[in-house]
């Protein structure tokens, strides 16, 4: 968890905020506490989505559906305000690390834990699909490992089955390379079977420590999912057969979530959780985190004195001249894979104006791919800019470019060095260091 930054809220609805849990393409997630002492996760959508009536309609619909869900292995929706100036939703906080962090730190899970994980998530998806929803982004970072069982989180980009195009065409890139189903990548109509494919990839990752479709760029990952067979390492026996079945290219060949759950846990996932399901190191980490949570106190909002800084409230402020010019450097995705060369050309401009043009050059499948974007100034300080990027409408981009909007952070670490970080999940959340260039 990170402390709240200048300009971030200290209360949302009835909740006092304790810190920031993370950020993504849809918005930011905060840790909060109700007046009654309950700890919650509060997701706040990015302000530009609040101006999109199509997005508001979808958000309102998804919140209503999530309130009715109530599945055991999901985080319950406790409160929401779809009509707020900036819509938000509060869910029960799950005291446990994401599967992605757990595997990175401690290695693959033992078979018993993987079976429990699969049974719990299978039951969760069965409930989700029964309510006419598709999650659409089942991945390791959206699976939390708690002492009382796994939890599937983040229904902010779920959509109702059979939803009209007008309720889903917001320009948001939905899904994560390496975990999206082939039909999802190809832009075909999807069903709950797409979630089952993603679940199979998650279980393969949990059991082996590596994704079943490895690659050094998003483009390679997408190609492998559509055209190649999964790599399942030393996975054996019934578990290997189940995972392989989930990863079938044809949606009709994949098992239903309830069928998968019954095979893994004939007496139900709760029966596997009851005697303890996580390995010792993870049990100790979760226990320490739960204790530390009790000591957290809400941060007090800072008292502003002196000149108003360059921030979200500074509507007339401009990009500092220290950013102007061309910056270039290599970037690396969260997985450690290279993300090619990033070039950013900044010009001075005000909040809401286009102030940077970006290009991304990388090699994929024996060819050089160039993706281009345009960035609008959202907020910043003298040393940090927050940018909202969209695909460059004046440039031709190929199918290997993600095409979705993304939040970018640029931080000056010296006169000639600029730290770049993207929060775009579809691109692998790349980051890197750029230096001044003559072009």
Q: How many CB atoms lie within 10 A of CB 36?
A: 6
- Three-class SS state of 371: strand
- The length of the chain in residues reads 439
Catalytic residue chosen out of the listed positions 126, 137, 195, 392: 137
For 251, the enclosing helix (H) or strand (E) is: none
Count of C-beta atoms within a 10 Å radius of residue 132: 14
> Rg of the chain over CA atoms, in angstroms?
22
407 labelled catalytic: no
d(CA 195, CA 367): 31
Give the residue among 38, 273, 31, 295 at the shortest CA–CA distance from 146.
273
d(CA 131, CA 129): 5
Token representation of residue 256 = 């239903």
Per-residue DSSP letters for 138-198? --GGGEEEETTEEEE---TT-EETT--GGGT-SS---S-TTTS-HHHHTT----THHHHHH
Query: C-alpha angle with apex 205: 200 to 209, nearest 5 degrees?
Result: 160
Region class of 142: left (phi > 0), else alpha (psi between -120 and 50), else beta:
alpha
Question: Residue 420: enclosing H or E segment and its boundaries?
Answer: strand 417-422
Angle between helices 237-246 and 193-208 (to 10 degrees): 140
b/e map of 378-406 (b: 16 or more CB within 10 Å)?
Answer: bbbbeeebbbbbbbbeeeebeebbbebbb
* CA–CA dist 57, 63 (Å, integer): 10
Task: State the catalytic residues.
Answer: 137
């Amino acid at each position: 968890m990170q402390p709240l930054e200048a300009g971030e809220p200290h209360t949302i609805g009835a909740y006092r905020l304790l810190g920031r849990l993370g950020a993504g393409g849809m918005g930011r997630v905060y840790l909060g506490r109700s007046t009654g002492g309950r700890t919650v996760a509060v997701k706040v959508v990015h302000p530009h989505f609040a101006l999109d009536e199509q997005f508001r309609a979808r958000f309102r619909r998804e919140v209503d559906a999530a309130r009715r869900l109530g599945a055991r292995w999901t985080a319950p929706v406790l409160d929401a305000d779809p009509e707020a100036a900036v819509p938000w939703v509060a869910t029960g906080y799950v005291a446990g690390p994401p599967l992605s962090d757990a595997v990175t730190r401690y290695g693959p899970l033992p078979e018993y834990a993987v079976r429990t994980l699969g049974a719990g998530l299978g039951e969760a998806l069965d409930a989700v699909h029964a309510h006419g929803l598709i999650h659409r982004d089942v991945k390791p970072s959206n699976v939390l490992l708690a002492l009382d069982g796994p939890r599937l989180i983040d229904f902010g980009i779920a959509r109702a089955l059979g939803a009209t195009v007008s309720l889903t065409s917001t320009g948001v890139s939905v899904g994560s390379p390496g975990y999206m189903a082939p039909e999802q990548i190809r832009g075909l109509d999807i069903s709950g079977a797409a979630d089952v494919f993603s679940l199979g990839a998650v279980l393969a990752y949990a059991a082996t420590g590596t994704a079943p479709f490895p690659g050094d760029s998003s483009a390679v990952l997408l190609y492998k999912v559509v055209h190649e067979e999964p790599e399942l390492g030393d996975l054996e026996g019934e578990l290997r057969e189940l995972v392989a079945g989930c990863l079938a290219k044809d949606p009709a060949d994949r098992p239903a979530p309830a069928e998968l759950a019954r095979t893994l846990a004939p007496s139900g996932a709760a029966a596997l959780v009851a005697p303890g399901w996580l390995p010792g190191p993870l049990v100790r980490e979760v226990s320490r985190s739960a204790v530390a949570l009790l000591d957290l106190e809400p941060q007090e909002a800072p008292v502003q004195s002196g000149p108003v800084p360059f921030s979200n409230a500074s509507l007339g402020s401009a990009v500092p001249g220290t950013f102007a010019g061309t910056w270039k450097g290599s970037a690396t995705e969260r997985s450690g894979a290279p993300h090619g060369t990033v070039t950013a050309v900044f010009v001075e401009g005000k909040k809401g104006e286009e102030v940077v043009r970006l290009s991304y050059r990388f090699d994929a499948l024996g060819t050089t791919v160039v993706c281009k974007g345009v960035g609008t100034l959202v907020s910043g300080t003298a040393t940090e800019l927050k940018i909202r990027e969209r695909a460059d409408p004046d440039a031709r981009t190929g199918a290997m470019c993600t095409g979705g909007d993304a939040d970018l952070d640029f931080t000056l670490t010296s006169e000639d060095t600029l730290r770049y970080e993207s929060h775009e999940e579809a691109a692998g959340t790349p980051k890197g260091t750029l230096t001044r260039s003559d072009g």
